[in-house]
Chain A
Amino acid sequence: MGRDKTRRLSGSRHLRQRLVLATLTSTGVTIDDIRSGDAAPGLRPYEVSLLRLLDKISDRHTIDLNETGTKLKYMPGVIQGGKGLEHDCGVHRGIGYFLEPLILLGLFAKAPISIRLKGITNDTKDPSVDTFRMTTLHMLKHFGVPLEGLELKIDSRGSPPLGGGEVFLRVPNINSTLTAANWVDEGMVKRIRGVSFSTRVSPQIESRIIYAARGIFNRFIPDVHIFTDHRSGASGGRSPGYGVSLVAETTTGCLLSVDATVSYPSVDEINDESEKPELMSPEDLGVQAASMLLEEVAQGGVVDSTHQGLLFILCALCPADVSKVRVGQLTPHGIETLRNIRDFLNVMFVIKPDPNSNTITLKCVGAGVKNIARKSS
């Protein structure tokens, strides 16, 4: 095992990607200067929670953190996976924050992972669990992951700031490698689906969101169906909130998603002025989400801007075979992902703009990352 390799990094940015890529390449990382100049230095509670999650699913690894939390040493071990795991994600970031690295790690685990995650299911910073269920999991099938073992069940929902949601995730482990994807045809949008949710508020709100969103979509396409998911009582978590996740399906099976949530500010953002802020109305939220989706459609590409990072990582993990994908404009997160991929996997993408459709095609030869955890068993 390549335990002699270590990488020195600084700063807290892209901690999740760095940890995931370090784990998959068995490279140790030392990250220092984590918010060292900040008023509150060191790792945030959600980052510590992420490390605990990593600790839960892997074995023979070491995680060292100094007293102030500004320096982190991580030596990856073997991802074990397993059944009946449980993790409390806290209320600082949504469950989406944890799902993104978790599905990547799960694919390269020794045994399939099934885990119960508790926390905030829908918030503004992270992709919602609905987006994950409807879009992210379906992305994996383009890389040869069977959909059967993939499952995300939403047992209860939780909005910020108090959360109280619970989801159940199953990720299969792959046999040895992913398969390279040639995924450039984005097709045309043939239907729009979605789900609106409300927790601890009137179910009427959902119809108001849907009515507003449909008003925008009706100019484009008649096949629009947005489901409702009203939660009250225990399955509605501990805070009021509402939101909607929308997916545009194309003729070639690409999924473009957006989500929007309205709730009271999370624990991190509560300022001195403690009066409750005015919330966005359901009508405005519906219009906003619909406009966001149309922006994604206008931009083109086989995935939406939120999923660019994951798409690039999946391409880079493929065996030594050419993967070709098309995206709209590169997002800052996507660019950072490309840099991290170069640093850890030594994979450079050939990036070509396509002036006819204003999109960008990316080509790469995968690094051929194998599921070593499974092989050794």
Chain B
Amino acid sequence: LLATLSRRSASLMQRVYEPSVKLDSVVSEENDDTEANSSDDEFFVPKGQKKQADNELPTYDDIDAEDCSKFFKAKLRDWSNEDLINSIRDRFVTGNWSK
């Protein structure tokens, strides 16, 4: 268990500080994209418009990504669901602390 733990923390640090692996994969994906686009009749697509058309999520490696500290959850869960309520019940002072 300890070994897996340390590996997990190492991978987390890698994810933050060594984006090179990820960058490569993203770049190659982007290349594929542009090749696919170039076969279409629209050859020159301004960056801004392309993004709107694709409606893709902002990637980590977009150098012109929007400067925004707010984080948007993709989807909010339904918090009137009983199971969900119980899952965070103990994060409140009203929770059950006998356990």
Contact = CB atoms under 8 A, between A and B. Distances in A.
Contacts of A288: 76
Interface in B41-70: 46-49, 58, 60, 62-70
Contacts of B70: 125-127, 306
- Main secondary structure, interface of A, reads mixed
Given A13-B64, A38-B46, A39-B47, A351 B77 contact: no
Interface stretch (A148-156, A197-205, A329-337): A329-337
A220 B89 CA distance: 7
Contact of A335 (B60, B63, B67): B60
Contact of A300 (B71, B77, B91, B92): B91
Contacts of B87: 298
A251 B49 CA distance: 48
A292 interface: yes
B36 interface: no
B63 A10 contact: yes
Interface in A196-228: 216, 219-222
Interface string A294-314: 110110100001110110000
Given A125-B70, A292-B73, A333-B71, A39 B13 contact: no
B12 interface: yes
A293 B45 CA distance: 40
Interface string B59-99: 01011111111110100111110000101111111110000
A113 interface: no
9 contacts: A11-B62, A14-B67, A16-B67, A189-B93, A220-B85, A298-B87, A306-B69, A306-B71, A338-B17
Interface of A: 10-17, 33-35, 37-40, 97, 100, 125-127, 188-190, 216, 219-222, 251, 288, 290-292, 294-295, 297-298, 300, 305-307, 309-310, 330-333, 335-336, 338-339, 342, 348-353, 355, 360
